[in-house]
Amino acid sequence: MSKAKNRAALAGSYLFVGIMAIFTVYPILYTIVGSFKTNGELTRGEHFFPEIWHFENFVQAFIQADFIKYTGNSFVVSLAVLAVAVFTASLAGYVFARKEFVGKKLWLVMHTGLMFIALGSVTLYPIYELLAKMNLNKSIVGLILALVGGQSTNVLLTMGFVKSIPKELDESATIDGCTIYGIFFQIILPLIKPILAVVALFSFRHAWNDYITTLIMSISLPKLRTLTVAVVQLKYSVNAAAEWHIMLAGATIAIVPILIVYAFCHKLFIGGLTAGAVKG
């Protein structure tokens, strides 16, 4: 009976994972396949695979979306968000894990609570108004600052990792005359590289895929548009007709960079999560 139950549980696990994989992979596969169809064939939805593979959709999307310009914007914004997020999350995680200060518990409760609250577009207007008062609403710096927000998950991940590092290392460094900054940069930072790789990948993916925040921030200055915003604009043609096939071709091109980043960083990403789970 126990063997039968184990087999049933294993079969159920495989079934669940298979269903989740289908729901995850199917939209991406549909986007890639749909990018080779004509607009009429795509909207009719008669066949999953195209009758004729239209590679010219990618050429048209590349030209219309000015991919070189907007891809450059996306890389600049995403890499800047990555750098700021890693630096701020590591500092905050270190302070929360190692130091005691007034209001620490309140800040931790607020960070934890914000992980489960999706404010979404509610925060866009106050963020835009704040940046406008600082004269940053028409610069790439303002867009980067707007995308860096929401570091609760990153801070808590880093804090849990830092807690796993023995405090004796800090004490030994202090005895040797090392300052708090020296302890952080010379001891803590090298030891938390695995979790920082996770934070970096999360931050890069968030900035690269963001649409609504970038759209709002680039309304007054279209040259700030990133690739995600430019791809969505491909749906609207000069003939006032929705060209879904061109938009899907653009989306397929936009997927490639993030897949390349993940292909090179997935070992660090998985290793960081695994190490954090074991140490935390």
What number is the average pLDDT over the span 156-166? 87
What is the predicted pLDDT for the residue at 240?
A: 47
Phi, psi of 52 (to 5 degrees): -130, 130
Query: Do the Cβ atoms of 15 and 239 come closer than 8 Å?
Result: no
Query: Do the Cβ atoms of 165 and 183 come closer than 8 Å?
Result: no
Using alpha carbons, list the distances in angstroms from residue 181 to 151, 173, 174, 184, 189.
Answer: 22, 11, 11, 5, 10
Compute how many other C-beta atoms are within 10 angstroms of the C-beta atom of residue 202.
19
Report the candidate in 148, 117, 147 with the shortest Cα–Cα distance to residue 210. Answer: 147
What number is the average pLDDT over the span 72-79? 91
Report the candidate in 16, 13, 160, 140 with the shortest Cα–Cα distance to residue 72. Answer: 140
Above 50 in pLDDT, residue 277?
Answer: no
What is the predicted pLDDT for the residue at 272?
A: 58
Report the candidate in 81, 83, 80, 92 with the shortest Cα–Cα distance to residue 154. Answer: 92
Report the candidate in 248, 243, 239, 199 with the shortest Cα–Cα distance to residue 40. Answer: 243
What number is the average pLDDT over the span 51-56? 85
Range of weakest confidence among 1-5, 178-182, 183-187: 1-5
* Confidence category of residue 117, pLDDT binned at 50, 70, 90: low
DSSP 146: H
Report the half-sphere exposure of 154 (CA within 13 A, side-chain side).
26
Q: Which residue has the higher pLDDT, 269 or 179?
A: 179
Above 90 in pLDDT, residue 70?
Answer: no
